[in-house]
Structure 1
């Protein structure tokens, strides 16, 4: 089985970020292409004055919309951001996921492969906080729905050909962030998540322009984690009976 098309979203001037993801992919023998991210000055349209998105969020959403126009010409496309940190079994697990999808009558549109702002030490714990209702599983990976969708970033996800076509139409008018998965799910996009996470975001190594605009990210504190464990336990029970 051939590996799917890989598109890396990156600003052209981000040399360190590009070198980081390029070395990871080339070391695995994976072909990819960069998609040059847009700045507000480069947008083909003016950002609407009444948008609730920051300039960075709007540009990011527009870039993903343009990527979907490419992705809808391929059976499967992996979309990565340039600060992605690929985990050990990334290649084998992506192929396993595609094998699972190929054997389904009704295929998902999106498989989320990684979450933003997850410390490496929490990559296994995250599914205690946000458990999945499993749809399909093998020895290598579990795929399913979370108790609810949330803005977990766009550091890494896989889109099917049908999914890319649906997302291309849905995001023609930018009204939501690129990672507003709940908005997409409410608009007939079937979204599954991968456990384990195949990609983490290198947020400790690279600054995020969007986060600078939002100014709302903080590392988790111990008390917050206790609350998250309690919520995760309640969510697991809810999913078990849903």
Structure 2
């Protein structure tokens, strides 16, 4: 790492975690404390505990038409957790944030790579995936430490049902959060449909290649998910 990178600040890190998931919470805490990285837990919303009034704001009919399957309460809670972070950041004038889910293993060079991203900031990047299903990208790239690269994603056509999978970890700025929130309500899709339909939101999307994060292998807390173990797909997902 260059000397000039040592004091480069990185955005706040929010880790989405259900308070009852003690094993995940301690696993994340141990990793970040060992690396001296500051972060904040964001208490995940449990979709199974939403009130009748809150459930009435979810468009389950449109979800079925859009996604091709029923939207489960676990998926609703996950989607709302990401949405509420966007709302929190905009309300508190947090212009950039790193959002992580709690089923991750963080490499020892995580902070160094994030500092390099912050230092060499691309003004056009609104969302940068730190982990994702395979996406089509332009051949040009920006070099990062440890042989990582930042590449711009090629959006699918406007009428395409393809989307990028993965809300495991991403770096998003104010304009990116505003664009996603403009498509967030009524809640009618899982979290990674909202972030991954870049042709619909118009968000300028980039990726790190290879993935900076790894899945830790915990059993999913969304035990009522209706569309499979999507994060292990080798290609961008498609909605039928």
Aligned residues: 207
**Secondary structure of the equivalent of 1:158?**
strand
| Equivalent position of 1:142 in the other structure | 149
Gaps of 5+ in 1: 117-125, 229-242
Give the conservation status (yes or no) of the 8 Å contact 2:131–2:214: yes
Could you tell me which of 183, 200, 205 is aligned with 1:170?
183
TM-superposed CA distance for 1:29, in Å, is: 1.1
Distance in 2 (CA, whole Å) between partners of 1:218 and 1:57 is: 13
Structure 2 CA distance for aligned equivalents of residues 111 and 56 of structure 1: 25
1:179 equivalent to 2:192? Answer yes
Secondary structure in structure 2 of the residue aligned to 1:210: coil
Superposed, 1:21-60 pairs within 5 Å as 21-40=28-47, 41-42=49-50, 45-46=54-55, 47-50=58-61, 51-52=63-64, 53-60=71-78
Helix, strand or coil at the partner of 1:171: coil
Secondary structure, aligned partner of 1:114: coil
1:7 aligns to what?
14
- Gaps (5+ residues) in structure 2? 1-7, 65-70, 157-161, 236-240
The alignment's C-alpha RMSD in Å is: 2.9
2:89 alignment counterpart: 71
Deviations 1:60-103 (A, max 9, x none): 111111000123322321101111111232111111112222xx
> Residues 182 and 31 (structure 1 numbering): CA distance in 2 closer, same or farther, change over 3 Å?
closer
**Inter-CA distance 7–182: structure 2 relative to 1 (3 Å threshold):** closer
Residues 95 and 173 in structure 2, CA contact (< 8 A), matched pair in contact too: yes
Provide closer, same or farther for how the CA distance between residues 67 and 145 of structure 1 changes in structure 2, counting only shifts above 3 A. Answer: same
Instruction: Give the Cα–Cα distance (whole angstroms) in 1 for the partners of residues 59 and 171 of structure 2.
Output: 29
Deviation at 1:173, TM superposition (A): 2.2
Q: 2:127 aligns with which of 87, 90, 110?
A: 110
Distance 1:133 1:189 in 2: 16
Q: How many angstroms apart in 1 are the aligned matches of 2:231 and 2:104? A: 18
How far the C-alpha of 1:19 sits from its partner, in A, is 0.3
Please give the secondary structure, in 2, of the residue aligned with 1:179.
helix
> What is the deviation of 1:202?
1.4
